[in-house]
C-alpha cells in the first residue's frame, strides 16, 4: 500500500507540474492506460493521481467522463485581467516616481539585448520560455515599486493565467511586439512619465487579455469537437505530451 501511494504521489506531482506549466495543453484528455504505460505502473496509482488533480481543480470531466486539463472560464479570466490591469498601473506609477533607477536601467538593458537577439534569430523564445521572461519583467517592475502586496497579487495572477499565456507566445510577431512594448513601458518609467507609462501598460495588458480570451474560446471549442480528442497537437498522446518543451500552438480549426 505504501509503495502504491508513493507512486501515486510521484505521478500526481509530475502531472501537476506539466499542467501548470502548459506542457499538457488545456482541454486535452488524459488517458489512464497511456499514462500507466509511460510511468511503468498499473492504472491504480494513475487513477489516484488523476482524482487528486481533479479535486485540486487542475482537471475537469468532459461530458463523456474523461479528464482534461481545465480551461478557465471567460468570466474568470476577465476578472483576473481586470485586477491585473489595476495592479500593473499602480506598479508603473509607483516605479516611475520612486523606483530604483539602477534596477530600471538594468531592466531596460536586458530587454534591449533580448530585442537584438530576437532580431538576429538567436532568441529561443517560443512558448513557456518567453512567458517566464515576460513574467520576470513585470515582477521586476513590481519589485522596484516596493509594494509587497501588489507583488504578491501579481504573482498569484501569473500562476492562474500562465497555462493559457503559453499559447500567446508561439507567434514570432507577438513576441517581437511584446519586447517592443516592454521597452516602451520601462523607458516611460525611467523618464518619470507616470501617465505615459500607465497608458503603455494598460494597452499592453489589454492586448494580452484579448489574446488569452481568444485562446479560451478556441480551447472550449476543441473540447466539444467530434474528432479525435485523445491526441495532442503534434500527434503524440496527450498523456505523454511534450515532457520538457513548450507545446506547439493548437491549430485554429481543430476543435477540442
Q: Is the pLDDT of residue 242 over 50?
A: no
Read off the pLDDT band of 254 (50, 70, 90).
Answer: very low
Structure confidence at residue 220 (pLDDT): 65
The model's pTM: 0.68
Residue pair 99/189 in contact (Cβ under 8 Å)? The answer is yes
Dmax (CA) of the chain = 63
DSSP assignment of 118-152, as one string? HHTT----TTHHHHHHHHHHHHHHHHHHT-HHHHH
Tens of pLDDT, residues 10-53: 999 899 878 766 677 777 789 999 999 999 999 999 999 999 99
Q: For the residues 232-236, what does the mean pLDDT come to?
A: 37
The mean pLDDT value of the chain amounts to 80
- State the pLDDT at residue 169: 67
Instruction: Decide: 52 and 189 in contact? Cβ < 8 Å.
Output: no
188-200 pLDDT per residue, tens: 999 999 999 999 9
Q: Minimum mean pLDDT among 71-80, 122-131, 145-154: which range?
A: 122-131
Per-residue pLDDT, 23: 74
| pLDDT of amino acid 170 | 63
C-alpha 8: how far from its chain's center?
26
Q: CB 105: neighbour CB atoms within 10 A? A: 12
Q: Are 144 and 93 contacting, i.e. CB atoms less than 8 angstroms apart?
A: no
Residue 140 is predicted with a pLDDT of 95
Cα angle vertex 124, ends 141, 182, to 5°? 25
pLDDT of residue 203: 97
Residue 127, φ and ψ in degrees, nearest 5: 65, -135
Question: CA 9, CA 2: separation in Å to the nearest integer?
Answer: 10
| Cβ–Cβ under 8 Å, residues 165 and 219 | no
Contacts of 2 (CB under 8 A, 6+ apart): none
Domains of the chain: 2-70 (1.10.10.10), 74-216 (1.20.120.530)
pLDDT at 109: 97
Are 127 and 166 spatial neighbours (Cβ–Cβ below 8 Å)? yes
Structure confidence by residue, pLDDT tens digits, 142-190: 999 988 999 999 998 887 787 777 666 667 888 899 999 999 999 999 9
Vertex 62 angle, CA 232 and 229, to 5°? 25
Look at strands 29-30 and 67-69 and give their pairing. Answer: antiparallel
62: confidence class by pLDDT, cuts 50, 70, 90: confident
Provide the pLDDT for residue 22.
66
Distance from C-alpha of 87 to C-alpha of 153, rounded to nearest angstrom? 8
* Structural Rg of the chain based on CA atoms: 20
How much of the chain, in percent, has pLDDT values that exceed 70? 77
Query: Residue 117's closest CA among 129, 105, 128?
Result: 129
CA–CA dist 110, 104 (Å, integer) = 10
Could you tell me which of 132, 150, 131, 143 has the C-alpha nearest to residue 107? 143
Residue 43: other Cβ atoms inside 10 A: 14
Pairwise pLDDT comparison (225 vs 7), residue with the higher score:
7
Amino acid at each position: 500500500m505504501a509503495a502504491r501511494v508513493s507512486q501515486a504521489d510521484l505521478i500526481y506531482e509530475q502531472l501537476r507540474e506539466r499542467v501548470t506549466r502548459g506542457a499538457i495543453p488545456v482541454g486535452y484528455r488524459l488517458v489512464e492506460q497511456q499514462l500507466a504505460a509511460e510511468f511503468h505502473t498499473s492504472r491504480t496509482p494513475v487513477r489516484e493521481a488523476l482524482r487528486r488533480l481533479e479535486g485540486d481543480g487542475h482537471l475537469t470531466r468532459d461530458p463523456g467522463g474523461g479528464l482534461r486539463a481545465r480551461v478557465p472560464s471567460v468570466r474568470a479570466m476577465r476578472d483576473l485581467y481586470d485586477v491585473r490591469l489595476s495592479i500593473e498601473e499602480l506598479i508603473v506609477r509607483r516605479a516611475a516616481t520612486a523606483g530604483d533607477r539602477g534596477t530600471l536601467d538594468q531592466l531596460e538593458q536586458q530587454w534591449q539585448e533580448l530585442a537584438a537577439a530576437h532580431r538576429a534569430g538567436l532568441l529561443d523564445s517560443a512558448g513557456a520560455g518567453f512567458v517566464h521572461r515576460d513574467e520576470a519583467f513585470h515582477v521586476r517592475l513590481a519589485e522596484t515599486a516596493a509594494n509587497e502586496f501588489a507583488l504578491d497579487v501579481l504573482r498569484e495572477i501569473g500562476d492562474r493565467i500562465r497555462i493559457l499565456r503559453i499559447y500567446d507566445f508561439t507567434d514570432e510577431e507577438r513576441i517581437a511586439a511584446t519586447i517592443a512594448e516592454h521597452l516602451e513601458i520601462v523607458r516611460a518609467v525611467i523618464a518619470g512619465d507616470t501617465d505615459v507609462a500607465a497608458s503603455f501598460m494598460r494597452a499592453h495588458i489589454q492586448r494580452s487579455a484579448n489574446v488569452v480570451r481568444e485562446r479560451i474560446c478556441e480551447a472550449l471549442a476543441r473540447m466539444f469537437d467530434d474528432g479525435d480528442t485523445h491526441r495532442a497537437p503534434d500527434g503524440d498522446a496527450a498523456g505523454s505530451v511534450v515532457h520538457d518543451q513548450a507545446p506547439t500552438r493548437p491549430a485554429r480549426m481543430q476543435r477540442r
